[in-house]
């Protein structure tokens, strides 16, 4: 029996992924690729909704793909491809635009948040219809499962509504997907502002652990992480967000329980915990960083892998798009 299909993607919106992407997405995907026919997409068409420098976008697209592979996505097991190399994404997005109500699209909270950065008048229509392109991404592959963060739940709901609507108007065509929001996946917070989620689009980088940063840069950031005046190493998310975040990262990356780390550091200072964490982080990220550099040193080989995957993605996506056009009388 064929494996169920999984689709997920990430924007090439930065030179390096951040630790939260690694823990919350890449490490999860790496485990899931065994049980699914998985499509992992570098969503560069999504990235242009907020403007881009062309040379930078091209480089970031390669770097993002390289980090996927370096973190364990196996191009022999999963289809790892670049969105703009499969034209069906843009075509199905147009079709789905015509099935989406203006009011329905207006209720997407991520647009409201993101457009505030530009002001409603200067935000692009592409940013407004971003969730509809995301629906196309998912539906083209007949994905049953879409691993995403909590902030993407509303977009997957819209995708489900559009799939159901199309199926009832034009006949059974799409699998109605489910968001798979990893339970028990720790949320990682900014080191300088430990109540805000660590994010590659953060305005300042001081609180961001970047996968591709050199070891000494990461060390400096961890040693300067915000803590508190209490001086006691214990987990308390509400009262001690900074220390709790350090304990969470330590625990997730070492595979140890928070309690065993608290016990090890009982009676010691925050500096000791931070030094220990520097080692744990380096041990996890160094192999990913080194492998990424190797892959980027041979761009022709990386491009060959990506175009092979795009060929397979095109085959699957065009099959779905052909059915859609036929059902719609196009």
Residue from 72, 75, 126, 149 in contact with ligand ADP (CB under 6 A):
149
At 106, list the tokens.
């207006």
Enumerate the H helices of the chain as residue ranges. 19-21, 27-32, 44-47, 54-70, 88-97, 102-106, 109-115, 125-128, 130-140, 153-170, 215-223, 241-254, 258-264, 270-296, 299-328
Comparing CB distances to ligand ADP, the nearer of 126 and 149 is: 149
CB of 130 to ligand ADP, least distance (A): 12
Contact letters for ligand ADP, residues 216-255 (x by CB under 6 A)? ----------------------------------------
Query: Which residues in 115-144 contact ligand ADP (CB under 6 A)?
Result: none
Given a contact cutoff of 8 angstroms between Cβ atoms, the answer to whether 181 and 215 are in contact is: no
Which residue, 21 or 85, has its beta carbon nearer to ligand ADP?
21
Instruction: Please report how the helices 299-328 and 270-296 are oriented relative to each other, as an axis angle in degrees rounded to 10.
Output: 80
198/161 Cα distance (integer angstroms): 30
Which backbone phi and psi does 171 adopt, to 5 degrees?
Answer: 105, 150
Query: Any idea what DSSP says for residue 186?
Result: P
Out of 70, 133, 148, 211, the residue judged to bind ligand ADP by CB under 6 A: 148
Q: Two tokens at 173?
A: 């065509």
Task: List the one residue out of 143, 146, 135 whose CA is nearest residue 180.
Answer: 146
Is 208 one of the binding residues for ligand ADP (CB under 6 A)? no
Q: Between residues 46 and 160, which has the closer beta carbon with respect to ligand ADP?
A: 46
Residues in region 17-56 near ligand ADP by CB under 6 A:
18, 20-21, 23-25
Instruction: Tell whether residue 11 is a contact of ligand ADP (CB under 6 A).
Output: yes
Residue 185 CB, nearest distance to ligand ADP (Å)? 6
118 three-state secondary structure? coil
- How many of the chain's residues bind ligand ADP (CB under 6 A)? 17
CA–CA distances in Å: residue 51 to residues 14, 48, 125, 151: 13, 5, 12, 22
The residues assigned a catalytic role are: 114, 197, 200
Q: At its nearest, how many Å lie between ligand ADP and the CB of residue 276?
A: 21
Q: Are 226 and 213 in contact (CB under 8 A)?
A: no
Q: Does 201 interact with ligand ADP (rule: CB under 6 A)?
A: yes
In the list 77, 114, 197, 268, the residue contacting ligand ADP (rule: CB under 6 A) is: 197
Q: Is 72 in the site for ligand ADP (CB under 6 A)?
A: no
Part in contact with ligand ADP (CB under 6 A); list of ranges 10-18, 112-120, 155-163, 285-293: 10-18
- Six token digits for residue 254: 């070492």
Nearest distance in Å: CB 67, ligand ADP? 12
Q: In terms of CB distance, is 91 or 190 closer to ligand ADP?
A: 190
Edge-to-edge strands of the sheet including 5-10?
79-82, 37-42, 5-10, 145-147, 178-180
Binding-site ranges for ligand ADP (CB under 6 A): 10-11, 18, 20-21, 23-25, 148-149, 187-188, 197-201
């Amino acid at each position: 029996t064929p494996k169920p299909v999984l689709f997920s993607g990430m924007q090439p919106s930065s030179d390096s992924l951040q630790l939260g992407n690694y823990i919350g997405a890449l490490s999860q995907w790496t485990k899931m690729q065994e049980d699914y026919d998985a499509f992992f997409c570098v969503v560069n068409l999504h990235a242009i909704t907020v403007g881009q420098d062309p040379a930078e976008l091209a480089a970031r697209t390669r770097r993002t793909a390289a980090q996927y592979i370096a973190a364990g996505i196996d191009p022999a097991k999963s289809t790892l491809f670049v969105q703009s190399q499969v034209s069906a994404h843009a075509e199905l997005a147009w079709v789905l635009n015509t099935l989406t109500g203006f009011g329905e699209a207006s209720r997407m909270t991520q647009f409201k948040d993101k457009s505030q950065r530009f002001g409603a008048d200067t935000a692009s229509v592409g940013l407004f219809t971003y969730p509809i392109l995301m629906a196309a991404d998912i539906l083209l592959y007949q994905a049953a499962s879409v691993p995403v963060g909590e902030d993407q739940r509303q977009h997957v709901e819209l995708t489900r509504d559009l799939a159901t609507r199309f199926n009832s108007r034009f006949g059974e065509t799409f699998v109605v997907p489910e968001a798979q929001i990893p339970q028990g996946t720790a949320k990682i917070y900014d080191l300088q502002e430990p109540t805000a989620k660590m994010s590659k689009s953060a305005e300042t980088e001081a609180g961001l652990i970047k996968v591709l940063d050199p070891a000494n840069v990461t060390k400096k950031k961890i040693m300067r992480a915000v803590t508190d005046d209490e001086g006691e190493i214990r987990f308390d998310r509400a009262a001690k967000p900074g220390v709790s975040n350090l304990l969470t990262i330590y625990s997730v990356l070492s595979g140890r329980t928070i309690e065993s780390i608290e016990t090890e550091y009982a009676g010691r200072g925050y500096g000791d915990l931070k030094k220990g964490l520097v080692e744990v982080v380096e041990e996890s990220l160094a192999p990913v960083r080194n492998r990424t550099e190797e892959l980027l040193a041979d761009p022709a080989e990386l491009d060959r892998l990506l175009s092979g995957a795009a060929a397979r993605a095109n085959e699957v996506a065009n099959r779905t798009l052909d059915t859609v056009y036929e059902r719609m009388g196009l």
